[in-house]
Structure 1
């Protein structure tokens, strides 16, 4: 885990079915949790986190799915918001794509890269975790601290 949030202030973790419905639910619950932590719906930080969660969850469902296995979403708020999505396909590591100009897919990780302070992949045995960090406390630190 990144040393910036070795001791996160608050955490959220849930397992979801490796389906489109599971990916959608992960995004919805992440937004609700962020709002409860003081990162309001519709704010820049909330919108960035929503897009990142949606992309990482969709990738877990599309590229990391193993029949009968779920994926995990973990949020940790410390000095930054760390978003982690873990699936059971460590053999399929994401890489920065170079989509063709007219391609209809392949731009998701470019979006993650543009919105996140940092992102990467950690492997643990048969699993991999794709993570991204977003600065929400710098923008909303007072709200985050007040709501806890």
Structure 2
């Protein structure tokens, strides 16, 4: 199987970034994990792969479950030399992520709790003009020594 990196276009920014659009389906989680692992390997940050793939899986699962979007944009970027950000962009700006309370017997709803416990920080940004967003980017960042 060929690497997803070859199909990914680098964003035109001052920092390294990769992004790709995928269907908004549960099977995208596997593709997202592959993208994250490939990019982190390229940057020689393999030690972050387990946590980053867990996070991207949860972000994808939330978008699939809580939006009616047809596609998702996955992003892996380095906002600084000591931070990695993974993100999912969807076209559902009114469905914002909320860290809720989970009951002991609840069978789902722990995704954001997992992200909150494993990421250095997480959040979301609305996409589009002020007052009329067309979507949102839900992101999580991993910190390396020096930027915590």
Q: Structure 1-normalised TM-score?
A: 0.79
1:22 matched to which residue of 2? Answer: 28
CA distance in 2, matches of 1:36, 1:21: 24
1:142 matched to which residue of 2? Answer: none
1:134 matched to which residue of 2? Answer: 142
The structure where helix makes up a greater share of residues is 1
| 1:56 counterpart = 2:56 | no
Q: How does 1:73-88 map to 2 (within 5 A)?
A: 73-77=74-78, 78=80, 79-88=82-91
Kindly report the root-mean-square deviation, in angstroms, between the aligned alpha carbons of the 2 structures: 1.7
1:94 matched to which residue of 2? Answer: 97
Q: Which moved more, 1:49-58 or 1:20-29?
A: 20-29
Name stretches of at least 5 consecutive residues in structure 2 with no aligned partner. Answer: 1-12, 128-132
Aligned residues, how many?
127
Q: Which has the higher contact order (CA 8 A, sep 6+)?
A: 1
The structure where strand makes up a greater share of residues is 2
1:65 matched to which residue of 2? Answer: 68
The structural deviation recorded for 1:7 is: 4.2
Which runs of 4 or more aligned residues in structure 1 lie more than 2 Å from their structure 2 counterparts after TM superposition?
Answer: none
The question of whether the paired residues in 1 share the 8 Å contact of 2:32 and 2:53 is answered with: no
| Deviation readout 1:80-128 (Å, 9 max, x if unpaired) | 0011110011111110021111111111101000111111111121201
